Chains A and B, each alone.
Chain A
Amino acid sequence: MENILLFSPEIILAVTAIVVLFTGLFLKTEHKSVLGYIAVAGVIISMALTLSIMLSMTTASMFYGTMVIDSLSQLFKLIFLSVALLVSIASIKYVSGSRNTEEFYSLMLLAVIGMMVVSSSNDLITLFVGFELAGLATYALVGFEKKNIVLLEASMKYFIIGALSSALILFGMSYVYGMTGTTSIPGIAENASLLAESPIGLAAVVLLIAGFGYKMALVPFHMWAPDTYQGASPVISALLAGASKKMGFIAAFKVIIVALIALSADWRTIFAVLAVITMTLGNVVALTQTSVKRMLAYSSVAQAGYIAMAFVVLTPTALAGGILYIMSHAFMKAGAFIAVGIVGFMVLLGNREARNVDHIDNFKGLAKRMPLTAFSLMVFLFALAGIPATAGFVSKFVLFASTIEAGLVWLAVIAILNSAISLFYYARVVKYMYFMPAEGGRVSEPAPFAVAMIIALAAVLIIGIWPEPFIYWATEAAKVLLI
């Protein structure tokens, strides 16, 4: 008998999404902030359930083997839910006063359900359905402010490229299905020799990498990311960089590492090239950005390059490092975007008509104007650069160590050099915040933003100072990938 309760986290979220949607219909705009609290409560309950399932080490295969519950799926669900928690708390401020609050929250919750389905899926079809659910919901979220032309451009770009990538994924999947006769991921893995012997196998791999590469924002499939992250509101960028991008990784982990392991010789080479150009291009382009959001977007591209090293090294340490990196990056990047959102709020408070609110000049003297935000953003940036006592250091440590373990010294050297470059642009923002004179008085952070930021800050520091449980769970999750 299948225990449907193992999917209670998803069910709770779905119910919350519907409740939020319907309650919103009967509320006046000024009362709609209550919807945010409902969504937050739903996410927290869902997190608690997911955590309890993970801690009990339950494994199960359900719905005729199309969905699985294991430590990998639960860990990724927790990552998605954590980002959702940060985003929904911060959004209480962001969407306050909007008529469409209920749509915002239900879309966000649906996106998270989609991501959770992807992380549990064990079949190409369920995976694709989850992928599309998350995709469609986030396309709408990016364009949430319908009157804002920049947002619409960002949304349009994201949507068109997202649709293209879906088509590529589906095309690749059709080849896989055509050659192996099954859509089940373990089934494909068993019959992968059929793919490996045929040139179609390589075509399928290329199509799938391209398709997932868009979501992961690997160069050369990254060009939507800077525009979209910069254009979208910071909370949505946090969701995209912290969660949606990670969905690309878990999907690629499942389809490419688990199902197509027989073709690893081919795709490891492809990923080696992609990882190197992704991290290098991301870091080099980030050097010259004046928009902090765009800088974070390129840094996000670079970080995807680091994570992609896990595909190249493909040892248990590397995969554990990659998963740990995904977890840390979710908090660091989401936290950084939320902090940027606070700065945007501060700028708009001074001048309603201000444009380019995330320009680096607006960060001048932030330490005087908003000490908490400046400190948190500094920690997030140093974490992204890999300075010790933060999550970023621990995950880089494990991931980079794995390259040496596997004897790929050249990859380690490239990654280390990139990491060194990145410190330059992160330190530049710190320099603006701490060493330049302030232009304006003290501003207090809006409470929801501040709460979300402090949670992210705490997560980054806890993973950095006491990483043992996180490394343990990342290792457990990695074991699922390499059976």
Chain B
Amino acid sequence: MLPIISLMILIALIGAIVTLFTKTKEQARMIALATSVVTLIGALYMFFRFDSESPMLQFVDSFNWIPSLGVTYTVGVDGISMPLVLLTAIVVPLVVLYSWNESKDPGKFYAMILATYAGVIGVFTSMDFFLFYVFWELSIIPMFFMINMWGGPEKGYASIKFLLYTHVASLVMLLGIFAMYFGTLFQTGIATFDIPTLLAQYQLIESDLARTMIFIALLIGFIVKMPAVPFHSWLPHAYVQAPTAGTILMAAIMSKMGAYALFRFILPMLPFTGSTDLMVSILAALGVLSIIYGAFLALAQDDLKRMVAFSSVSHMGFVTLGAMAFVPLSVSGAMFQMFSHGLITCLMFMSIGAIQVMTGTRLISELGGLAQKMPKLAFLMVAGFMAYLGLPGFSGFIAEFTVLNFSYISLPSYVIAAIFAIVITAAYHLWALQRAMFGVFNEKLGDIHDISNLQTFSMAVFVLLALYFGLNPSPVMDMIITNAEQIVGLMAVAGV
């Protein structure tokens, strides 16, 4: 059988390298588009051939990489990673289409998109901790370049803060990986970085302290990437200063890396930490804190991009909350929220990017009445905002409803706190929409026209996808539930 995942990563990497050396914009964007469409076909093939009934890894592809350390190159997908691989593969070609007219160093621009793409797919699919770390770190570098070369006025500060913040967190995670590796080595005599083996051996590490330390070390690595309040301070700078394509990649895909790791590593480890109840409380509290604090921060912003950045923090809080509730459906809802947030957040940042390009500003106070001049954008943007605030019919509703509904079973007080944030979420979305898009047209903005057809197309695809998965979530939900039940089942065995 074809090693589809490895081929996807390889094609994306080769595409990135080839794009880097193209001379003209036309060549660069055609190669980038071709690369991302080919990989999308691979992802769709896997998605439709995926066995939703099985929690096992599928499409596995493995060989010995560094035998003397026990490192293997192993990639595969299961119900946790398949939706995210699909999401990534959908987002990238549309981002390429959206930024079809990038004229500053187009070769490098598309190359960075594809390099990030390769790194992220690697993170979602690697089943070896060494490989996972390699991809995890490698995905940061192209984003560092992206912010720095095409970013806004404070790009220098934003990019270095992003790089150092996430790098430090990754290094802390690396310590945790070492400890798990040697814990397994000392107990079984087997040197391996195989993720399922390390997770299975984790509970057998004798010292309570060691298990707690490992858990915290890994958690720091993941939660900064996600990010959850209070580790979010790199996010507003990075998201706001990055070019639209970079923001989309960060918000829609890279933030899922941390969230994905939550399900892959943190949940299976959680029952065996020295102090499970405390950890659950802390994490659930962080989730709720992110939901509420993110919403309040979003409410206070005048800059649309900053508003969506904080609202992104708020929405990612649902992922943490649902994961910590340990009910199969709440965990499924949390995973579905990753997928859904990925789709909708693209739409949000694309609208804002279009507004900025057209009017030269993102400040709500300087906008007004844009709907009159930009009807297509207004329509898509309204759809995006509605999907983001959780209007029934869109995928966001399914995700957040499932999380809140089923988390109530085990974490009622947290859910009650989070419910209030929903009001604020609705408030800032509608208020921003009203001030920026409707009302009297602000004549200072001058002569502006609507978004291009390609932009309309890529945004419309996201609206349709959000709508489709809102009305019929089962293609994605089925595979998610299988794995969520398996994770929660394992925990039930451990007595949590």
Instruction: Determine if A475 and B68 form an interchain contact, defined as CB atoms under 8 angstroms apart.
Output: yes
Q: Compute how far the CA of A400 lies from the CA of B133 in the bound complex, rounded to whole angstroms.
A: 15
Q: Compute how far the CA of A471 lies from the CA of B69 in the bound complex, rounded to whole angstroms.
A: 8
Q: Which of B138-164 contact A (CB under 8 A)?
A: 138, 141, 144-145, 148-149, 155-156, 159-160, 163-164
Instruction: Determine if B144 and A427 form an interchain contact, defined as CB atoms under 8 angstroms apart.
Output: yes
Mask of A382-415 contacts with B, CB within 8 angstroms, 1/0: 1000011100010001101100110001001100
Q: Compute how far the CA of A475 lies from the CA of B68 in the bound complex, rounded to whole angstroms.
A: 9
Q: Is B216 an interface residue (CB 8 A)?
A: no
Q: Compute how far the CA of A413 lies from the CA of B67 in the bound complex, rounded to whole angstroms.
A: 27
The segment from B165-173, B197-205, B310-318, B362-370 found at the interface with A is B165-173
Q: Compute how far the CA of A400 lies from the CA of B159 in the bound complex, rounded to whole angstroms.
A: 27
Partner pick for A413 among B145, B149, B175, CB 8 A cutoff: B175
Partner pick for B137 among A388, A401, A431, A471, CB 8 A cutoff: A388
Count A/B pairs, Cβ under 8 Å: 75
The segment from A89-97, A160-168, A417-425 found at the interface with B is A417-425
The residue on A at minimum CB distance from B65 is A468
| Known pairs A416-B175, A431-B148, A475-B68; A401 contacts B141 (CB<8 A) | no
The residue on B at minimum CB distance from A407 is B182
Q: Compute how far the CA of A139 lies from the CA of B163 in the bound complex, rounded to whole angstroms.
A: 40
Q: Which of chain A's residues have a CB closer than 8 A to the CB of B163? A: 423, 427
Mask of A411-451 contacts with B, CB within 8 angstroms, 1/0: 01100110110011001100100110000000000000000
What's the nearest-Cβ distance from chain B to residue A477, in Å? 13
Query: Chain B CB within 10 Å — which of A389, A404, A409 has the most?
Result: A404
Q: Is B431 an interface residue (CB 8 A)?
A: no
Q: Is B179 an interface residue (CB 8 A)?
A: yes
What's the nearest-Cβ distance from chain B to residue A431, in Å? 7
Partner pick for A471 among B66, B159, B167, B172, CB 8 A cutoff: B66
Q: Compute how far the CA of A401 lies from the CA of B185 in the bound complex, rounded to whole angstroms.
A: 12
Tell me the count of chain A residues lying within 8 A, CB to CB, of chain B: 30
Q: Is B181 an interface residue (CB 8 A)?
A: yes
Q: Which of chain B's residues have a CB closer than 8 A to the CB of A382? A: 141
Q: Is A37 an interface residue (CB 8 A)?
A: no
What's the nearest-Cβ distance from chain A to residue B385, in Å? 34
Instruction: Determine if A404 and B179 form an interchain contact, defined as CB atoms under 8 angstroms apart.
Output: yes
Q: Which of chain B's residues have a CB closer than 8 A to the CB of A22? A: none
Query: Chain A CB within 10 Å — which of B145, B149, B174 has the most?
Result: B174
Mask of B115-144 contacts with A, CB within 8 angstroms, 1/0: 000000000000000100111011001001
Instruction: Determine if B138 and A401 form an interchain contact, defined as CB atoms under 8 angstroms apart.
Output: no
Q: Which of chain A's residues have a CB closer than 8 A to the CB of B174? A: 397, 400, 416
Q: Which of chain A's residues have a CB closer than 8 A to the CB of B171? A: 416, 419-420
The residue on B at minimum CB distance from A428 is B160
Q: Which of B172-213 contact A (CB under 8 A)?
A: 172, 174-175, 178-179, 181-182, 185, 213
Instruction: Determine if A467 and B160 form an interchain contact, defined as CB atoms under 8 angstroms apart.
Output: no
Q: Compute how far the CA of A325 lies from the CA of B168 in the bound complex, rounded to whole angstroms.
A: 21
| Known pairs A387-B141, A420-B164, A431-B160; A398 contacts B69 (CB<8 A) | yes
Instruction: Determine if A401 and B181 form an interchain contact, defined as CB atoms under 8 angstroms apart.
Output: yes
Q: Compute how far the CA of A420 lies from the CA of B134 in the bound complex, rounded to whole angstroms.
A: 16
What's the nearest-Cβ distance from chain B to residue A283, in Å? 13
Instruction: Determine if A389 and B160 form an interchain contact, defined as CB atoms under 8 angstroms apart.
Output: no
The residue on B at minimum CB distance from A385 is B167
Instruction: Determine if A404 and B175 form an interchain contact, defined as CB atoms under 8 angstroms apart.
Output: yes
Partner pick for A435 among B67, B137, B149, B175, CB 8 A cutoff: B149
Instruction: Determine if B178 and A401 form an interchain contact, defined as CB atoms under 8 angstroms apart.
Output: yes
Q: Which of chain A's residues have a CB closer than 8 A to the CB of B66? A: 467-468, 471
B interface secondary structure, majority = helix
What's the nearest-Cβ distance from chain B to residue A202, in Å? 33
Instruction: Determine if B164 and A424 form an interchain contact, defined as CB atoms under 8 angstroms apart.
Output: yes
Instruction: Determine if B182 and A387 form an interchain contact, defined as CB atoms under 8 angstroms apart.
Output: no
Instruction: Determine if A389 and B148 form an interchain contact, defined as CB atoms under 8 angstroms apart.
Output: no
Partner pick for B134 among A388, A398, A401, CB 8 A cutoff: A388
Q: Which of chain B's residues have a CB closer than 8 A to the CB of A404? A: 175, 178-179, 182
A interface secondary structure, majority = helix
Q: Which of chain A's residues have a CB closer than 8 A to the CB of B134? A: 388-389, 393
Q: Compute how far the CA of A471 lies from the CA of B144 in the bound complex, rounded to whole angstroms.
A: 30
Q: Which of chain A's residues have a CB closer than 8 A to the CB of B178? A: 400-401, 404-405, 412
Q: Compute how far the CA of A431 lies from the CA of B161 in the bound complex, rounded to whole angstroms.
A: 13
What's the nearest-Cβ distance from chain B to residue A321, in Å? 11
| Known pairs A416-B171, A416-B174; A405 contacts B182 (CB<8 A) | yes
Instruction: Determine if B156 and A435 form an interchain contact, defined as CB atoms under 8 angstroms apart.
Output: yes
Q: Which of chain B's residues have a CB closer than 8 A to the CB of A431? A: 148, 156, 159-160
Q: Compute how far the CA of A419 lies from the CA of B172 in the bound complex, rounded to whole angstroms.
A: 11
What's the nearest-Cβ distance from chain A to residue B20, in Å? 10
The residue on B at minimum CB distance from A424 is B164
Q: Compute how far the CA of A147 lies from the CA of B185 in the bound complex, rounded to whole angstroms.
A: 59
Q: Which of chain B's residues have a CB closer than 8 A to the CB of A468? A: 65-68
What's the nearest-Cβ distance from chain B to residue A7, in Å? 30
Q: Which of A230-265 contact B (CB under 8 A)?
A: none
Instruction: Determine if B181 and A420 form an interchain contact, defined as CB atoms under 8 angstroms apart.
Output: no
Q: Compute how far the CA of A382 lies from the CA of B69 in the bound complex, rounded to whole angstroms.
A: 23
Q: Compute how far the CA of A416 lies from the CA of B159 in the bound complex, rounded to whole angstroms.
A: 21
Q: Compute how far the CA of A351 lies from the CA of B65 in the bound complex, rounded to whole angstroms.
A: 49
Q: Which of chain B's residues have a CB closer than 8 A to the CB of A434? A: 145, 148-149
Q: Compute how far the CA of A9 lies from the CA of B144 in the bound complex, rounded to whole angstroms.
A: 45
The residue on B at minimum CB distance from A423 is B167
Q: Compute how far the CA of A28 lies from the CA of B213 in the bound complex, rounded to whole angstroms.
A: 68
Query: Chain B CB within 10 Å — which of A397, A417, A471 has the most?
Result: A397
Partner pick for B182 among A401, A420, A467, CB 8 A cutoff: A401
Q: Compute how far the CA of A471 lies from the CA of B66 in the bound complex, rounded to whole angstroms.
A: 9
Q: Compute how far the CA of A413 lies from the CA of B178 in the bound complex, rounded to whole angstroms.
A: 12
The residue on B at minimum CB distance from A471 is B68
Mask of A8-43 contacts with B, CB within 8 angstroms, 1/0: 000000000000000000000000000000000000
Q: Compute how far the CA of A416 lies from the CA of B217 in the bound complex, rounded to whole angstroms.
A: 12
Q: Compute how far the CA of A427 lies from the CA of B145 in the bound complex, rounded to whole angstroms.
A: 10
Q: Compute how far the CA of A34 lies from the CA of B167 in the bound complex, rounded to whole angstroms.
A: 47
What's the nearest-Cβ distance from chain A to residue B312, in Å? 25
Q: Which of chain B's residues have a CB closer than 8 A to the CB of A388? A: 133-135, 137-138
Q: Which of chain B's residues have a CB closer than 8 A to the CB of A435? A: 148-149, 155-156
What's the nearest-Cβ distance from chain A to residue B49, in Å? 31
Q: Which of chain A's residues have a CB closer than 8 A to the CB of B144? A: 427
Instruction: Determine if B137 and A387 form an interchain contact, defined as CB atoms under 8 angstroms apart.
Output: yes
What's the nearest-Cβ distance from chain B to residue A288, in Å? 15
What are 13 pairs between A and B in contact, CB < 8 Å?
Answer: A388-B134, A388-B135, A388-B137, A389-B138, A398-B69, A409-B175, A412-B175, A416-B174, A417-B168, A427-B144, A435-B156, A468-B68, A475-B68
The 5 A-B pairs of least Cβ separation, nearest first, read A404-B178, A388-B134, A420-B168, A401-B178, A416-B171
Residues in chain A within 8 A of chain B (CB atoms): 382, 387-389, 393, 397-398, 400-401, 404-405, 409, 412-413, 416-417, 419-420, 423-424, 427-428, 431, 434-435, 467-468, 471-472, 475
Contacts beyond the supplied A423-B163, A434-B148, A468-B66: 6 A-B pairs with Cβ under 8 Å: A404-B178, A405-B178, A409-B213, A412-B175, A416-B171, A419-B171
